[in-house]
Amino acid sequence: MSDLDELLDQILGRSCAPGDGLDSRAWRHLTESGLDRVGIPEHLGGVGGDLVDAGDIVIRTAQAGLISPLRETLFPVAKLAELRDHAIPEGVIALDDYQVKDLSPAHRQAVRLWHALGVAAHSLGAIRGAVDQATSYVAIRHQFGRPLASHQVVRHQIASIVSELCACEAAVSHALAQAGSSRANTESVALAIASAKIQTARSSTRVARTAHQVHGAIGMTAEHPLHYFTTQLWTLPREAGGPELWSQRVYDLVHSPGQADLWAALCAQHQF
Amino acid sequence: MSTRAELSLFSETPPAEGDDVLAERRSIRAFLARASESGLFRPEVDTWLSCHSPDFTRALGAAGFIGMTWPVTYGGRNASVSQRLAVIEELLVAGAPVAAHWFADRQIGPSLLRHGTEEQRQAFLPSMARGELYFCIGMSEPDSGSDLGSVRTSAIQVDGGWRVNGSKTWTSHGDRAHHMLALVRTGQPGQAHKEALTQVIIDMSSPGVTVRPIRMLDGREHFCEVFFDDIFVPDTRVLGRPGSGWAQVLGELGFERSGPERFLSTFPLVAGLSASGASSDYLRTNAGELIARLVVLRAMTARVNTRLGDAAAPGVAAAVVKDLGTAWELDSLDLAAVWLDEAEHNEDLGRLYREAQAHSPAFTLRGGATEVMRDIIARGWEPTR
Ligand SMILES: Cc1cc2nc3c(=O)[nH]c(=O)nc-3n(C[C@H](O)[C@H](O)[C@H](O)COP(=O)(O)OP(=O)(O)OC[C@H]3O[C@@H](n4cnc5c(N)ncnc54)[C@H](O)[C@@H]3O)c2cc1C
């Protein structure tokens, strides 16, 4: 296990409960440890680390149910700092605080892409959290004299969201690897990120719906932690552009004049 | 290994395609271009199960693209699993007729390498790699489909070997295969299938083997019924130990379910439509989404592929790929119908669509039904708390 994973285990395992926000102990520990500045070069006020590390932090905090803007801090905000070659001003953690003014169209697009990547990573974390909630619950809740999980219909519901989760794991790790690779070209990075955004948006909706269904009424209560994940899964697909916009982007990317055909466009991501 | 630990492979990034893989892509593309120019094939859909061409398979074997990961002594060339993945992707995408050797290359060869005797490997692998020897898969029976452990075809020990009686069905290309890798019952009635089943290699020309092709809904013949009337199988044709058949079959299914053929069956059609362009926003949006899902499926297969050599087969991960991949294939046909309406009339694409549609019910059945995949996925997924 890496140092980063261990640190996250420590902070999230000990002091984070689903629904914790910026006034929580977990958030204080995270920022005191510099985890809100990972993946950002030191001369821009960061603490080093790479994009995969930044992704890990966003995924793990979202999985723990922390409500935070890290998906912006570590992705589009960090990208902006890099493009402007300016340290992130003290206290800036979200895009709102850091206006995207005076950017060239190319830079604007880069920030948008990184925003989508951050949202995809956060969605993956929330999906992990919701799948965890659902699988735990069906094991302990009994109806008709046996656990819900012993009914095949319920097991298949669980299987379908586990599959969605696996797709999101692959989509996000692929996008992070492409985005962090110095040898990937811009189109292949855009294709990988757009695909991760589309996949996580699609899965968010499905996972939220199924996680609620298997919980029955208790999942609708304020007391049960499920909603900390599902309410986020309802809105995340609309953040940083909805899946329909990104789908058109994917269509355009694979049909750009430089691409011989669909397969060549799909393989271009591997030409490095 | 727990399911959760196994499925974590999806979050691990495999090494990027290196120069060896790129070189492999270039060389198989060049082979395919030549084969297509010389009239060896025209692109079809669902080629890995349906398009059987001894000529193509022999040419492919001669060029070193069958059994390429096997050791040189058995006719292979020690290529990496990533190189092989690139080659089989290109074959499927080109719509090339690969059915004759597909099972041998994908699962029978690896099973022989893992469980076979030296004599068995020498007897089968080199001619498989040359594209001259074909195997069929003898798992399903009239009364044993999803419940594969209930197979009844029996093998009874006699002097020097086994007497086999019973029947297999849905055997793809059973009428053209030289051998079958069959799952048979060697244990006592009532014995748990974990110990009662055995894999045997059956010579399809043995006295007492009868093969009858089955007509399909489109009038074609593809899979067969196979009957065994007291046939003799020598001891030297048992694969692995008697009683270890169930474990071996589970390993084989890991290879069978995780590959790119579980989402590329309809790709030649989708690529053809893609080349014709899309004018409506509806089509552009939905095609974009479909393509994004394909990017993700490729990433998933690449991740499982790195584990196929492991001692414990990634059977649950393979089930996930098969479930999502075959759903993609069906969705691609729904969109193709819209696309065909919008595109300029194109006889070839219309034909590919009708072919794919006729084959489509198989996508979510062959290799294990979707419902069985979901049982497998859910079974091992234990809660964290
Ligand atoms: C084109 C094609 C080629 C094939 N080639 C081969 C081959 O070469 N060799 C070979 O051995 N086999 C082959 N098969 C057979 C294939 O493996 C079986 O079709 C498959 O395992 C399903 O078995 P079945 O058809 O008997 O359906 P059944 O097992 O009868 O299932 C029918 C339906 O019931 C559902 N069902 C069954 N049990 C359960 C359960 N416990 N819970 C929930 N739902 C359930 C299934 O999911 C399915 O939807 C081929 C099949 C096809 C379609």
Which tens digits make up the pLDDT trace of A187-217? Answer: 999 999 999 999 999 999 999 999 999 999 9
CB B70 within 8 A of CB B99: no
> What is the Cα A11 distance to its own chain's centre?
19
A140 and A262 belong to one structural domain: yes
Main-chain phi, psi angles of B172, to 5 degrees: -60, 130
Query: Residues A71, A117: one domain?
Result: no
Contact B284 A166 (CB under 8 A): no
Look at residue A269 in the predicted model and tell me its pLDDT.
Answer: 59
Same domain for A125 and A15, yes or no, is no
Q: Tell me whether B288 touches chain A (CB under 8 Å).
A: yes
> B166 in helix, strand or coil?
strand
Helix (H, G, I), strand (E, B) or coil at B234: strand
- Residue A222: is its pLDDT beyond 70? yes
CATH number of B248-380: 1.20.140.10
Confidence at residue A8, expressed as pLDDT on a 0 to 100 scale: 96
Cα nearest neighbour of B321 on chain A: A163
Q: Name the domain boundary from A103, A132, A161.
A: A103
Cα A146 from Cα B27, distance rounded (Å): 58
Categorize the per-residue pLDDT at A97 as very low, low, confident or very high, splitting at 50, 70 and 90.
Answer: confident
Residue B61's pLDDT is: 98
Place of tokens 């196929």: B308
Q: Of the residues A65, A81, A103, which one is the last residue of a structural domain?
A: A103
Q: Within this chain, do residues A157 and A230 fall inside the same structural domain, yes or no?
A: yes
pLDDT tops 60 at residue B132: yes
Structure tokens at B360: 């489509």
Q: What is the pLDDT of residues A37-52, one digit of tens each?
A: 999 988 888 998 999 9
Residue range B3-134, CATH number: 1.10.540.10
User: Residues B104, B117: contact at Cβ < 8 Å?
Assistant: no
pLDDT band at B1 (very low <50, low <70, confident <90, very high): low
A150 touches chain B (CB under 8 A): no
A227 and A98 inside one domain? no
Which residue of chain A comes nearest to B317, CA vs CA?
A166
- Evaluate if residue A182 carries a pLDDT over 50: yes
The predicted model gives B159-185 an average pLDDT of 98
Which chain A residues are Cβ-neighbours of B379 within 8 angstroms?
Answer: 155
Residue with tokens 């609708």: A220
Site from B2, B3, B11 to mutate, A interface, most A CB atoms within 10 angstroms: B11
Tell me the pairing of strands B238-239 and B197-203: antiparallel
Mean pLDDT value across residues A27-31:
96
Query: What pLDDT, on a 0 to 100 scale, did the predictor assign at position A1?
Result: 59
Same-domain pairing of A83 and A31: yes
The token pair at B12 is 């691990």
Q: What is the pTM of this model?
A: 0.96
d(CA B354, CA B44): 11
Sort residue A183 into left (φ over 0), alpha (ψ -120 to 50) or beta.
alpha
Q: Please give the DSSP secondary-structure letter assigned to residue B107.
A: I
CATH of the domain at A38: 1.10.540
Section A62-87 average pLDDT: 95
Q: Are residues A142 and A215 in the same domain?
A: yes
Same domain, A199 and A169: yes
A244 vs B6, higher pLDDT = A244
The predicted pLDDT at position B383 comes to 58
The reply to whether B19 touches chain A by the CB within 8 Å rule is: no
A229 & A118 share domain: yes
Q: Of A96-100, B76-80, B267-271, which range is least confident?
A: A96-100
Tokens 């362009």 — which residue?
A: B277
- Distance from residue B145's CA to the centre of ligand 1 (Å): 5
CA proximity to A76, closest of A53, A102, A107, A30: A107
Has residue A270 got a pLDDT over 60? no
Angle made by CA atoms B122, B128, B131, in degrees to the nearest 5:
145
Residue A109 at interface with chain B, using a CB cutoff of 8 Å:
no
pLDDT of B382? 64
Q: Which residues constitute the domain of residue A154? A: 105-272
Burial bucket for residue A143 (CB in 10 Å: 0-12, 13-18, 19+): exposed
Average pLDDT over residues B107-118: 97
Q: Which residues of A touch B378 (CB under 8 A)?
A: 149, 155-156, 158-159, 162
Contact A191 B383 (CB under 8 A): no
**Contact of B173 with B184, CB cutoff 8 Å:** no
Residues A40 and A144 in one domain: no
More confident: A91 or A229: A229
Q: What is the pLDDT of residues B281-314, one digit of tens each?
A: 999 999 999 999 999 999 999 999 988 878 777 8
How many C-beta atoms lie closer than 10 Å to residue B305's C-beta?
Answer: 21
Q: Tell me how many domains chain A contains.
A: 2
- How far apart are the C-alpha atoms of A26 and A14, rounded to whole Å? 8
Q: Which of B285, B293, B378 sits opposite A248 (nearest CB)?
A: B285
Pick the closest to residue B266 from B135, B354, B159 (CA basis): B354
Confidence band of B381 (pLDDT split at 50, 70, 90): confident
Q: Are the CB atoms for B195 and B242 separated by under 8 Å? A: no
Give the start-to-end residue ranges of the domains of chain B.
Answer: 3-134, 137-246, 248-380
Q: How does the average pLDDT of chain B come out, rounded?
A: 94
Q: Report the distance separating Cα B160 and Cα B157, nearest Å.
A: 8
- Domain B137-246 is of which CATH architecture? Beta Barrel (2.40)
Q: Are B342 and B277 in contact (CB under 8 A)?
A: no
pLDDT digits (tens, 9 = 90+) for B241-281: 999 999 999 988 888 898 999 999 999 999 999 999 888 99
The verdict on A182 touching B (C-beta cutoff 8 Å) is: no
User: Nearest-5° angle of CA B240, CA B244, CA B247?
Assistant: 110
* % of residues, chain B, pLDDT over 70: 99
pLDDT in tens, B210-227: 999 999 999 999 999 999
Residue A109 shares a structural domain with residue A98: no
Give yes or no for residue A271 having a pLDDT over 50: no
With an 8 Å Cβ cutoff, are A254 and B274 in contact?
A: yes
Q: What pLDDT score does B385 carry?
A: 40
pLDDT of residue A272: 36
A128: CATH: 1.20.140.10
A129 and A215 housed in the same domain: yes
> Is the Cβ–Cβ distance between B182 and B135 less than 8 Å?
no
> What is the mean pLDDT of the segment spanning B351-377?
96
